[in-house]
Amino acid sequence: MRLDKFFTQTGTLTRSQCAKAAKTGAITVDGIIIRDASVNIDPDKNVIAYNGEAISYSEFVYIMMNKPLGYVCSNDEPGELLVFDLLDEKNKRKDVFTVGRLDKATSGLIIITDDGKSAHAALSPKHHVEKTYVYTLAEPLSEQDRIKLENGIELKDGYTTKPCKIIPTGEKSGKIILSEGKYHQIRRMFAAVSNKVETLERISFGDIQLDNSLSYGQWRSLTDEEISKFKK
C-alpha cells in the first residue's frame, strides 16, 4: 500500500497533507524519515509514525455504540435519526453498517463495522452467537410463561422461536439471552404470552459486553481483544 493511502485510510492526513508532511520529515517508516509519500509500505509489518507517534492500522472499522432510544439502525431512512449521525466525519465516510439491528425503541450495544465477511458470520444462524438483553415488562412474568418462552414459542406469523434463556431479576424484569434475531423478536415473544415489553436494552453481543462507561449515543473503537472475539 502507498504511504499516502495509509494516511488517508487511517484518517490521519489527506493525500496532500501527507505529501507536505513527508517533505518536512514528519513521517517515519520503521524509524527512518521518508520524504516520498508514494513509497510502498506494508501496514502489517512496518511501523509508520507521524510527528513521532505510531499510527495504528486496521483494515476495517469496528465500533461499539451505546444506541440511544429513538435512533434507527439504518443507513438511510428519511425523517429518522440514524445511529450513523452520531459517528465522527472520518467514520461516517466509510461504508459502515450495523451488525444486525436494534429497534428504534431499544437501547444498548450495537456493533458498527465495514467488515462484511465477519458481520455476516456473526449473524449467521450457524454460529449461534448469543445476545443478552435486559427487559422490563408491563405484567409479571409467570413461571409457566417463562418456561414456554424458554422452550420456544410460536409467534403470530407461525414462526417458532429457538430455545432461549430467561433470568428474571424481578416479577417484571430480567435478562433474556437469544441466539437468533428475528424482526422485533423479543417484543413478539412476550406478546405471545399476552405480555408487553416496556423497556429493552442489549448488554452483550457474543463475548463482547457493552462498555458501561459509554453513555447513550457514545461510541468507541473495539479493542484488539474485542475484535478477535467478534471475528471468532
- Which residues contact ligand URA by CB under 6 A? 102-103, 106, 184-187, 200
Pairing of β 131-137 and β 165-170: unpaired
Q: Residue 137 in contact with residue 198, Cβ under 8 Å? A: yes
**In terms of CB distance, is 176 or 222 closer to ligand URA?**
176
Are residues 193 and 153 in contact, defined by beta-carbon separation less than 8 angstroms?
Answer: yes
Among 61, 72, 79, smallest CA distance to 219 is for 61
- State the catalytic residue, choosing from 30, 44, 88, 103: 103
Q: Can you state the percent helix, strand and coil of the chain, rounding each to 5?
A: 25, 30, 45
C-alpha 110/C-alpha 74 separation (Å) is 12
Beta-strand relationship, 81-82 and 71-72 = parallel
Q: Does the annotation count 44 as an active-site position? A: no
CB of 17 to ligand URA, least distance (A): 41
Q: Is 61 or 102 the residue whose CB approaches ligand URA more closely? A: 102
Task: Rank residues 66 and 106 by Cβ distance to ligand URA and give the closer one.
Answer: 106
Please list the active-site residues. Answer: 103
